[in-house]
Amino acid sequence: MTKKQFLTKLNTSLKGLSSDDREDILQDFEEHFTIGLEEGKTEEQISASLGSPQQIAKELVATHRVEKVNETSTAGNIFRAVWAVIGLGFFNLVIVLGPFIALTGLIAAGWAVGISFVAAPLLVLINVALHPQIFELFDLFVSIALAGLGLFIAIGMFFATRAVKNGFVRYLKYNLSVVKGGVKHA
């Protein structure tokens, strides 16, 4: 690969990064080529030792995505970060996607329980409207108690969701520094 091909490939693989970031990154590699050429290496040699521009870009994009979650953590941002980290290598499919699915499942289940408890009195009222002959005061009291419990669960889930999200972002960051990506087998 010539320098130009290398930089072009790198640039096109850096989709999603701001143009400032891209320019900065390309500048670093430009500098690397310049010094290498001064030392008498050819463009081909330099790009061969640098490795795949796509793999380098993947790593830069993954770091960028994880950082974005740190700034604003919308569901979309979290999914993009998880996806980018998984893209770094097959190994990550297991150690990132597994915990992610498990945690998302737990959180979703917690919210489902909380919300359905809160909605319990409403369900009792619907039931009464549909079958007025089987109304029991007991049902209403139990459902109101459940609703109270549900509120507590929902409040708890709010904090749990935040804690799990922060923990998971830290886990992603840790993966970026340890897990496969761009390093050759010896």
Helix axes 120-130, 98-118, angle to 10 degrees: 50
86 touches another protein by CB under 8 A: no
Task: Reduce the DSSP state of residue 80 to 3 states and report it.
Answer: helix
Closest CA to 147 of 113, 111, 119: 119
**Rounded-to-integer distance, Cα 154 and Cα 114, Å:** 5
Q: How far does the chain reach from its first CA to its final CA, in angstroms?
A: 22
Is residue 51 close enough to count as binding another protein by CB under 8 A? yes
Helix 43-50 with 3-13: angle, nearest 10 deg: 30
Interaction of residue 59 with another protein, rule CB under 8 A: yes
* Position among 7, 69, 120, 176 found at the interface with another protein (CB under 8 A): 176
Write down the least CB distance from residue 151 to another protein, Å: 39
Residue 32 binds another protein (CB under 8 A): yes
List the one residue from 8, 16, 43, 67 that touches another protein (CB under 8 A): 67
Instruction: Verify binding: residue 19, another protein, rule CB under 8 A.
Output: no
* Size of site (CB under 8 A) for another protein: 33
178 belongs to the binding site for another protein (CB under 8 A): yes
- Residue 143, interface with another protein (CB under 8 A)? no
Rg (CA), the chain: 26
Task: Decide: 57 and 6 in contact? Cβ < 8 Å.
Answer: no
Give yes or no for residue 38 binding another protein (CB under 8 A): yes
How does DSSP classify residue 88?
T
The answer to whether 16 contacts another protein (rule: CB under 8 A) is: no
Considering the complex, state which of residue 52 and residue 161 has its C-beta at the smaller distance from another protein.
52
Footprint on this chain of another protein (rule: CB under 8 A): 25, 27-29, 31-32, 34-36, 38, 49-53, 55-56, 59-60, 63, 67, 91, 176-186
